[in-house]
Amino acid sequence: MKESRSSRSPWAFSAEIHEAFVSPVKAPVHGAINVPGSKSYTNRALIIAALAEGTSTLRGILRSDDSYWCLDALKRLGTKISINDEEVAIKGTGGRWPVKEAECFIGSAGTIARFLPGALAISQGGSWVVDGSQQLRDRPLSPLVDALHDLGAEIDYLSEQQGLPLQIKGTGLRGGEIEVPGNVSSQFLSGLLIASPLAEGTVKIRVVNGLVQPSYIGITVQLMRQFGAQIEHNEDYSEFHIEPGAYRAQDMTLEADASTACYFLALAALTQGEMVVKNVGYHSFQPDAQFIDVLELMGCAVEKTESFLKVIGPEKLKGGFTVDMKPMSDQALTIGALAPFANAPITVSNVAHIRKHESDRITVICQALQKLGIQVEEREDGFTIYPGEMQGAQLDPHDDHRNAMVFGLISTKVDGISILDPGCVSKTCPTFFDELKQLGVDVSFK
Ligand SMILES: O=C(O)C1=C[C@@H](OP(=O)(O)O)[C@@H](O)[C@H](O)C1
Ligand SMILES: C=C(OP(=O)(O)O)C(=O)O
């Protein structure tokens, strides 16, 4: 087994850059931008298209590390893919992967780690290794592997840990009734759902221990249905019933990334600016599209439409509330970045699971804010941030794109911050610092 390696792909922003400096803005930031494609839509659509019968065309894909490694893995499995900028054509394999033995390196992409094993296990014949960065090796995987075992899969851990690397044999999945916990990651359930139509029999799934970020299951179900799957579920996504049947190729344009949009909306909130994200609408299954409601609660003037989101920042942000971020936990950190500038403390609750994301996000944001001089209270499932004056410091995002992006936001208001390893934004938004520059924010690198 090879050593795990870095997750930076050829689509990453320059590997030569070690530190980024974002200067405090001298005036409110105004702009209207388009954000890149959604990571969640891209990696689901790529994998389902590769499992489908026929050739799919997907427009508006995200070009970042996570999607690069997804395309790379599918190609290593023998899928014919042509990529033309943000458009890909994928000749589906019907789940009969042409290359019967391969090693797939998937960087730090939680989505691929949770969606690919089932997509391989459904195949008849073949044996593949799936591995990722050390960061991804350390993230939870066993609830998915246990549930796939229950459906008849042969999957082995290749290390001491119950995580990547995995060896997956193409034994087919027989179908049946299984349970999966939803409290650590919703992605285990999404991975089971995506594989289920290609099982030999009906699959019934019961979700136990609650479900974090349920809207991501909405994206999974929506795309599965668009590709022709027969899937039924109850209202709270705790029970699913999937009939066997082939996925059929589709021609579709994917949504832009609502999570990425939030950083630019938050920039307006912070700088008394005005920002329009032209290609993300409010009624998306991407939960982060509704983060604008939290910005409204903080005193921003907002416009939420089907096709765009607009935020105008107030004189002073409002605090003095607790917000349960379980439904859209990727933005818990963004609140952490805004809270020191509010007029009263803000508490983020119910996000214990983000300690198992790319970094222990609760500890990283709390330690960074403390380093900048802010009073924080860290709890197992969240944090309270107090308003305060900040001084510059060197901040380490711990190879986590969302930490780096929120450090960039704070830097637009505080002098003397340096962000280490800024290239980690490439996981979902390699163009993050370029976008800031385009908006007139001064960014330099070392
Ligand atoms: O299914 C998806 O596309 C995602 C699900 C969420 O993960 P968890 O359910 O593991 O929290 C989210 O944080 C991640 O960015 C994308
Ligand atoms: C949790 C995240 O990523 P992943 O898809 O690797 O789980 C994220 O993008 O915030």
Per-position pLDDT tens, the chain of length 446: 556 678 999 999 977 899 999 999 999 999 999 999 999 999 999 999 999 999 999 999 999 999 999 999 999 999 999 999 999 999 999 999 999 999 999 999 999 999 999 999 999 999 999 999 999 999 999 999 999 999 999 999 999 999 999 999 999 999 999 999 999 999 999 999 999 999 999 999 999 999 999 999 999 999 999 999 999 999 999 999 999 999 999 999 999 999 999 999 999 999 999 999 999 999 999 999 999 999 999 999 999 999 999 999 999 999 999 999 999 999 999 999 999 999 999 999 999 999 999 999 999 999 999 999 999 999 999 999 999 999 999 999 999 999 999 999 999 999 999 999 999 999 999 999 999 999 999 999 99
Is the pTM above the cut of 0.80? yes
Query: Phi/psi at 408 (nearest 5 deg)?
Result: -60, -40
CATH top-level class for 39-253?
alpha beta
Q: Would the CATH topology of 19-36+256-445 be identical to that of 39-253?
A: yes
Provide the H-helix boundaries in 232-320.
258-271, 291-297
The string of pLDDT tens digits covering residues 327-355 is 999 999 999 999 999 999 999 999 999 99
Say whether the ipTM exceeds 0.90: yes
Angle at 35 between CA 113 and CA 257, to 5 degrees: 35
Say whether 133 counts as a known binding-site residue: no
Closest to 347 (Cα-Cα) out of 370, 317, 330, 325: 325
Q: Is 293 among the catalytic positions?
A: no
Instruction: Give the pLDDT of residue 14.
Output: 79
Is the CB–ligand 2 distance for residue 400 below 6 Å? no
Nearest Cα neighbor of 403 from 411, 415, 414, 391 is 411
The answer to whether 169 and 196 are in contact (CB under 8 A) is: no
What would the pLDDT profile of 351-384 be if each residue is shown by its tens digit? 999 999 999 999 999 999 999 999 999 999 999 9
Alpha carbon nearest to ligand 2 atom 6, residue: 110
Q: How far apart, in Å, are the Cα atoms of 109 and each of 70, 160, 368?
A: 8, 21, 24
And the tokens for 229? 């799957």
- CB-ligand 2 contact for 171 (6 Å cutoff): no
Question: Is 238 assigned a ligand-binding role in the annotation?
Answer: no
Which atom belonging to ligand 2 lies closest to the Cα atom of 43?
Answer: 5
Residue 406 CB coordination number (10 Å): 30
* Binding-site residues, ligand 1, Cβ < 6 A: 40, 110-111, 185-187, 190, 212-213, 216, 329-330, 353
The answer to whether the beta carbons of residues 40 and 70 sit under 8 Å apart is: no
3-state helix, strand and coil shares in percent for the chain, rounded to the nearest 5: 35, 25, 40
> Which ligand is in closest contact with the Cα of 44?
1
CB distance 109 to ligand 2 below 6 Å: yes
Annotated binding-site residue? 427: yes
Provide the residue ranges of all domains of the chain, joining segments of one domain with +: 19-36+256-445, 39-253
Is the preceding peptide bond at 117 cis, omega within 30 degrees of 0? Answer: no
Q: In this predicted structure, what is the pLDDT of residue 2?
A: 54
Residues 6+ apart with CB under 8 A from 234: none
Residue at token pair 């190879």: 399
Contact by Cβ (8 Å): 90, 58: yes
Residue to probe by mutation, ligand 1, list 190, 216, 286, 356, most atoms within 8 Å of CB: 216
Q: How far is CA 402 from CA 331, 399, 423, 436, in A?
A: 8, 9, 12, 15
Asked if 83 and 58 count as a contact pair (C-beta separation under 8 A), the reply is no
Beta bridge partners of 232: 241
Pairing of strands 80-84, 87-91: antiparallel
Does domain 19-36+256-445 fall under CATH 3.40.50.300? My reply is no
